[in-house]
């Protein structure tokens, strides 16, 4: 069997993805913990659910990176919890937009490398991120 060679670009993108997933997992969980008011009560469980999904993404990406010979980062992107529910959700919406852009790049890099498994993993994760973006966008409509 021919051994697949993973490009440094793809390995770097995977680590950027891990840093982003760790960031939002912590960010959303802390927002879940620090919610305030009746509107916060309405979204706290959704924030917790999304935070857990993001941590599972980080795990899956890290496992793939190790399989490909890389070393996963333990450093998150900067975490922003926010002081109000609106501020939190606006940041979360932006972070999901960034993830969507990044994960499309990962999918293209994986295609270029002929890495079907990574491409398929990120197509699934991209779908989740689009759902998260839709959730945050919808929640902001009510604020």
In the chain, domain spans: 8-73+81-141
Fold of 8-73+81-141: Ferritin (1.20.1260)
**Structural contact between residues 140 and 40, judged by C-beta atoms closer than 8 angstroms:** no
Cβ neighbours around 143 below 10 Å, total: 12
Q: Which helix (H) or strand (E) holds 83?
A: none
* Helix boundaries (H) for the chain: 8-34, 37-67, 85-113, 116-141
Q: Is 15 a residue whose pLDDT tops 90?
A: yes
Residue of 4, 69, 63, 54 lying closest to 24 (CA atoms): 54
Which pLDDT belongs to residue 3? 61
pTM of the entire predicted model: 0.94
Which pLDDT belongs to residue 1? 38
Which pLDDT belongs to residue 36? 81
Give pLDDT tens digits for 74-106. Answer: 999 999 999 999 999 999 999 999 999 999 999
Q: Is 142 a residue whose pLDDT tops 80?
A: no
Average pLDDT score over residue span 7-23: 98
Torsion angle (degrees, nearest 10) of CA 50, 67, 108, 104: 10
Give pLDDT tens digits for 19-73. Answer: 999 999 999 999 999 988 888 888 999 999 999 999 999 999 999 999 999 999 9
């Amino acid at each position: 069997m021919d051994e697949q060679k993973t490009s440094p670009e793809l390995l770097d993108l995977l680590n950027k993805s891990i840093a982003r997933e760790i960031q939002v997992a912590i960010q959303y969980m802390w927002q879940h913990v620090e919610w305030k008011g009746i509107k916060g009560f309405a979204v706290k469980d959704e924030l917790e659910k999304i935070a857990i999904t993001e941590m599972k993404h980080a795990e899956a990406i890290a496992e793939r990176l190790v399989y490909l010979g890389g070393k996963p980062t333990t450093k998150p992107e900067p975490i922003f919890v926010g002081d109000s529910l609106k501020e939190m959700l606006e940041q979360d919406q932006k972070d999901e937009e960034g993830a969507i852009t990044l994960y499309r790049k990962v999918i293209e890099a994986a295609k270029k490398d002929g890495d079907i498994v990574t491409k398929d993993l990120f197509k699934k994760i991209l779908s989740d991120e689009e759902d998260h973006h839709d959730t945050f966008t919808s929640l902001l409509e009510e604020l």
